[in-house]
Structure 1
Amino acid sequence: MNRLWNSYPRSIRLLAIAAVIHSTGMACIWPLVTIYIHDVLGKSLAVAGGVLMLNQGAYLVGSVVGGFLFDRWGKLLTLCAATVGAVAVAIGLGFTTDFSVYTVLLPLNGFFSGIMFPVLNALIGLLWPEGGRKGLNMVYVALNIGGAIGAGAAGILASISFAWTFFGNAALQVAVLGLFLMLSRAADIEHGPVKDRRPTPESAEGLDSLDRPATMDSHSAIHATRSVAWMALGFLSMGLLVCWIIYVQWTTVLSAYMQTLGISLKQYSLLWTLNGALILLGQPLIAWVIKHVAQSLKAQMLLGGCLFSLSMLILSQTTVYAGFFAAMFVLTLGEMLVWPAVPTIAAELSPPGREGMIQGLVGGVGSAGRMVGPLMGAVAFEVLKAQGLFYAMAAFALLAVVCFGVYTSFIKRSELSAALTVQKH
């Protein structure tokens, strides 16, 4: 394990530690939001759901804004603004029990958290371009480790006082800010805007050929190919959106459905313990799958989409806990293949100076799925009942497979378009 850890550059290791601490702090808040609004602030569960939707909407906006600021302000300034904002909001949450203030501060918490996602992913690509999926997978695992730690810590802090969950978040975000300052020294993170940076041949490694100046002499050729690259990113984003819509059924419809089957909340929560443990301990299994079964990023996404569909099919055929356990196992394997692969490909398709914006859009897609997924699932459950919902979601997952399968055709078209345009000039 120590050898594997040391195989990453120091800047990536610091970034992973920062991701763990940031995710731990945020997870001190989100598992208890519904309980806090209902039990402490005295509001209904429907109102709590509405506030959570506002939180996810703000996360979506934060993802897009974070990517834009990353490209315009520079890396360190964006990181500092996001963490300082998160600290101020967390302290405010700890000192208020006014519902009106809470409904303003919680979306702001989502906004600043959303800023962090594209920054972390874009930094990975810039600090370690040759790392590819490996670097982004490191951050993905780190965020899940932090989420698991924070969810456990939240219960302990809340037993003292709900205010301490917010203050704990603030303290951890201060630690994140300190790590980012260390990272700026370790990785020589510039303070100026990314747009002022002139990419070197080394920084262009890992980018798709359509963005390499060596093969694109004319501005018109670059413009033509990038317009097609957006279509490829669009199909990737659509596939990711579908996967997230399916994924959130586990946190919404399924939690209620399992209780009607006599499965307790404790047993339900153990499924998420399985999810976190598999993400952490199942990395050797995923590495074997990537080496022997799904060697390309496209193959990984296709397999992951099929696993999402299979997990829903398993649910359609079971009403016992062992079946839910098996479905969660399959879903987690799919998640481990899809979640890191999409931002990796997005980074490869990003023109120099647009890394943050592209990663912000990818993060926004995930948040959009978390927003619309609960509503879609609830409506489908009412109309189709449980088994019909699972069949529908299994079929829906195949749309993601199609999107992941066709995006490369637009890259091939871009290469042909570029060649023809360059010949004309």
Structure 2
Amino acid sequence: MKDFKLVWLLLGSLITNLGGSFIWPLTTIYVHEYLKMPLTMAGVVIFLNCIASLCGNTIGGNLFDRWQPIGTLMVGISIDVLAASALIFFHGWPIYPVLLTLMGLGSGMTFTSINGLATKVPGHAASYAFNFLYFTSSLGVAAGTLVVGNVLAAGIGWVFACAAVIYLFFAIIVFTMYRGHRLRQNDAEEAPAEHGKSRVRPEVLAVLVVVFVVWFFYEQWDSNLSSYMLSKSLSVREYSSVWTVNAIVILLVQPVVTRMDTWLTKHITLRLCTGLTLFTLSFIWLLGAHTYLSFVLAMVILSLGEVLAMPAISTYINLFATAHTRGQYQGLVQAGASAGRAVGPLFGAMIIEGFSYHILFLLAIGGLAAVMVLFAAVSARARAKAQM
């Protein structure tokens, strides 16, 4: 039996994110502008999708550890294929949010399985795989957002048809290139936890809070910022191009970060805190953003924070997982992200409609700064305790 190759995992990440980028950037615009629903209703649709994704993360993490890693991935991607195929023909109201919610369940299982497999690739450290996964996911997003605006001009059905074909292609790859290959077996690497206890360490809880808050406010870019940019007389194509800028920045910077993997893993707290600082600065910049260029610059700052923080979160969590709980721990990370994505657009829309976009940006600045301080304090306390 041959070893499972990292290249197939990276290709899977690329394809999955390519398919997803045909769906999520347009959700708010499609619900609000095409289906003529209120902005808060668009938030509810995203909320349902992400709650289903959270369930998929939890189910996927447990199946990954207790059943079959590849089998779990196949179940997730099969659900995505079926939901995207149905959306080609049924994308009116209210069937659209129902099928989008089903897609969330499949995507949750798929992404958790991909992250879990990153810890089981023979011959590669998990941190190395996570850095490359973020690179390929960004490449998929870049390719998708670059063309999705043009595909939408041909009709929303074509958008879902593209997504369905992309997911089907990945399902074929999983069936042919993932099955029957050897994964890394349980090794001597142990989490720095007391093996007789199941209590989650404070550092893990802290980073899960960070994941939730980061995605709560990051999701504003995916959802409510689209309407904000349109209100500034910018176009859907310009909004999509901002995401292309995001991907380009990540594609340029991520290889540098990957080459520094050993040093960054050793200083992972500093890496995470620097990333969170950049996230905060991006929302400070948004307070004065009125032109296309100003939104691009805000996205550049946000993207630099992404490169540092996002892959590091999965690496950090994996430090505390045992060989038997890696899928579950990566499921926790994905579940925290799904929870943030679920409530972010809805509560963001409520804040905007009740107050203003600027109040939302101020809350983002305060929230991101607060979790950075929390994480730094918990990590410092843990280091001090370890030296006693």
Could you tell me the TM-score, scaled by structure 2's length? 0.86
Whole-angstrom distance in 2 between the partners of 1:284 and 1:325: 22
Q: 1:375 to 1:97 in 2, by over 3 A?
A: closer
Asked if the contact 2:4/2:121 (under 8 Å) is kept, the reply is no
Q: Compute the displacement of 1:148 (Å).
A: 2.4
Please point out which of 102, 112, 115 is paired with 2:109. Answer: 115
Asked if the contact 1:239/1:399 (under 8 Å) is kept, the reply is no
* Amino acid paired to 1:75: P
1:227 to 2:227 alignment: no
Q: 1:313 to 1:95 in 2, by over 3 A?
A: closer
Structure 1 segment 119-268 matched on structure 2, within 5 A: 119-128=113-122, 130-184=124-178, 187-189=181-183, 199-201=186-188, 204=189, 207-210=190-193, 221-224=194-197, 226-229=198-201, 231-268=202-239
Whole-angstrom distance in 2 between the partners of 1:395 and 1:98: 38
Please point out which of 45, 53, 57 is paired with 1:51. Answer: 45
1:368 to 2:323 alignment: no
Whole-angstrom distance in 2 between the partners of 1:410 and 1:73: 37
User: What corresponds to 2:253 in structure 1?
Assistant: 282
Q: Compute the displacement of 1:141 (Å).
A: 1.8
User: What corresponds to 1:339 in structure 2?
Assistant: 310
Asked if the contact 1:59/1:111 (under 8 Å) is kept, the reply is yes
Q: Compute the displacement of 1:185 (Å).
A: 5.2
Please point out which of 353, 358, 361 is paired with 2:324. Answer: 353
* TM-align CA RMSD: 3.2
Please point out which of 56, 66, 69 is paired with 1:72. Answer: 66
Whole-angstrom distance in 1 between the partners of 2:240 and 2:162: 23
3-state SS of paired residue (2:322)? coil
1:300 to 2:283 alignment: no
Whole-angstrom distance in 1 between the partners of 2:137 and 2:231: 32
Q: 1:151 to 1:330 in 2, by over 3 A?
A: closer
Whole-angstrom distance in 2 between the partners of 1:155 and 1:325: 17
Please point out which of 91, 102, 114 is paired with 2:85. Answer: 91
Asked if the contact 1:24/1:147 (under 8 Å) is kept, the reply is yes
3-state SS of paired residue (2:366)? helix
1:394 to 2:385 alignment: no
Q: Compute the displacement of 1:245 (Å).
A: 2.0
1:63 to 2:52 alignment: no
Which segments of 5 or more consecutive residues in structure 2 lack a partner in the other structure? Answer: none
Asked if the contact 2:40/2:349 (under 8 Å) is kept, the reply is no
Q: 1:155 to 1:402 in 2, by over 3 A?
A: same
* Amino acid paired to 1:332: S
Whole-angstrom distance in 2 between the partners of 1:350 and 1:294: 16
Asked if the contact 2:141/2:244 (under 8 Å) is kept, the reply is no
Whole-angstrom distance in 1 between the partners of 2:359 and 2:30: 33
Deviations 1:284-331 (A, max 9, x none): 454588788896111110101111122222233454444333222111
* Amino acid paired to 1:361: L
Q: Compute the displacement of 1:86 (Å).
A: 1.7
User: What corresponds to 1:218 in structure 2?
Assistant: none
Percent identity over paired residues: 30
Deviations 1:212-251 (A, max 9, x none): xxxxxxxxx5124x5252x221100111222122222323
How many residues are aligned here?
386
Asked if the contact 1:208/1:348 (under 8 Å) is kept, the reply is yes
Q: Compute the displacement of 1:98 (Å).
A: 5.5
3-state SS of paired residue (1:209)? coil
Which segments of 5 or more consecutive residues in structure 1 lack a partner in the other structure? Answer: 1-8, 191-196, 211-220, 418-425
Q: 1:25 to 1:384 in 2, by over 3 A?
A: closer
Q: 1:128 to 1:327 in 2, by over 3 A?
A: farther
Whole-angstrom distance in 2 between the partners of 1:277 and 1:129: 29
Whole-angstrom distance in 1 between the partners of 2:21 and 2:314: 22
* Amino acid paired to 1:180: V
Asked if the contact 2:61/2:329 (under 8 Å) is kept, the reply is yes
**Comparing 113-122 with 308-317, which one deviates more in the overlay?**
308-317
* Amino acid paired to 1:277: I
Q: Compute the displacement of 1:409 (Å).
A: 5.2
Asked if the contact 1:238/1:403 (under 8 Å) is kept, the reply is no
